[in-house]
C-alpha cells in the first residue's frame, strides 16, 4: 500500500510568490474592478485571510503584484560611448519592457488623485536597479569628462528621466515616442548634469 504524499505548507517567499502570481493572473484576465480576494485565494490555493494579513486593501495587493512583475532594468546599462546615447538607450529599454505592465495602468488610473500607493510604487522602482543603472551611466560620463566630478548628484536628479518616463506611462497613459524621450533627455536632464564645454547640442 503506497503512502499518501505529504502535503507541504508553503511559507515565506514561496507563499508570497504564489499569491502575487495569482493576483497578477486575475488582474490580466478580469481587470482591476472585477478582481476579488476570493478569486485570488482560490487560484493560489489558500485563504482570503492569508491575503488580507499581507495586503489589507486590494490596491496594495495589485501594486505588490505589479512590483513583482515589473521587468528589471539590466544590471549593466547600455554603453553607447556618450551620456546622451546611454540615457536614451536606457529609457528606451524601460519603455519597451514596461509594456509588459499594461494591465496595471487601469489600477493606477483608478487610484489617480490619491497618490499614496502610486508614490510608494514609483519610489520603489526608482530606488532599485533603475537608480543604480542611471548612476552607472553618470559615472561613465564623469570618466569621459562629460559631467563635472564635483557636481552634486542627488537621488531626485539621478532618477529624473526615469520618473518622467514612468509618469508618462503610468499616470498619463501615454507611451513616450523617440521624440518624447529626446525631449526629456535634451531639455530636462542633460542641461542639469552636463558640463557646458562637453559638447551638448
pLDDT digits (tens, 9 = 90+) for 40-92: 999 999 999 999 999 998 888 988 888 788 766 666 888 999 999 999 999 99
**Residue 101 sits in the same domain as residue 54:** no
pTM of the entire predicted model: 0.66
**Residue 154 sits in the same domain as residue 188:** yes
What's the chain's average pLDDT?
A: 81
For residue 182, the enclosing domain spans 70-193
**Residue 57 sits in the same domain as residue 96:** no
In a domain, 83, yes or no: yes
How many domains are contained in the chain? 2
Buried b (16+ CB within 10 A) or exposed e, 38-57: ebbbebbebeeebbeeebee
**Residue 94 sits in the same domain as residue 181:** yes
pLDDT average, residue stretch 153-180: 87
* 187 secondary structure, DSSP code: I
Determine the pLDDT at residue 8.
47
- Among residues 30, 47, 63, the one where a domain terminates is 63
Amino acid at each position: 500500500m503506497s503512502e499518501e504524499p505529504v502535503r507541504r505548507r508553503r511559507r515565506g517567499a514561496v507563499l508570497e510568490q504564489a499569491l502575487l502570481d495569482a493576483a497578477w493572473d486575475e488582474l490580466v484576465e478580469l481587470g482591476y474592478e472585477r478582481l476579488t480576494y476570493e478569486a485570488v485565494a482560490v487560484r493560489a490555493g489558500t485563504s482570503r485571510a492569508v491575503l488580507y494579513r499581507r495586503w489589507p486593501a486590494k490596491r496594495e495587493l495589485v501594486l505588490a503584484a505589479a512590483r513583482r512583475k515589473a521587468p528589471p532594468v539590466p544590471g549593466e546599462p547600455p554603453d553607447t560611448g556618450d551620456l546622451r546615447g546611454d540615457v536614451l538607450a536606457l529609457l528606451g529599454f524601460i519603455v519597451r519592457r514596461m509594456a509588459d505592465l499594461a494591465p496595471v495602468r487601469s489600477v493606477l488610473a483608478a487610484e489617480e488623485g490619491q497618490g499614496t500607493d502610486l508614490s510608494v510604487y514609483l519610489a520603489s522602482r526608482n530606488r532599485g536597479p533603475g537608480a543604480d543603472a542611471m548612476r552607472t551611466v553618470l559615472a561613465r560620463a564623469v570618466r569621459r569628462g562629460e559631467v563635472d566630478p564635483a557636481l552634486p548628484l542627488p537621488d531626485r536628479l539621478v532618477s529624473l528621466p526615469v520618473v518622467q518616463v514612468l509618469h508618462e506611462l503610468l499616470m498619463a497613459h501615454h507611451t513616450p515616442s523617440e521624440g518624447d524621450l529626446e525631449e526629456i533627455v535634451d531639455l530636462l536632464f542633460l542641461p542639469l548634469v552636463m558640463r557646458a564645454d562637453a559638447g551638448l547640442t
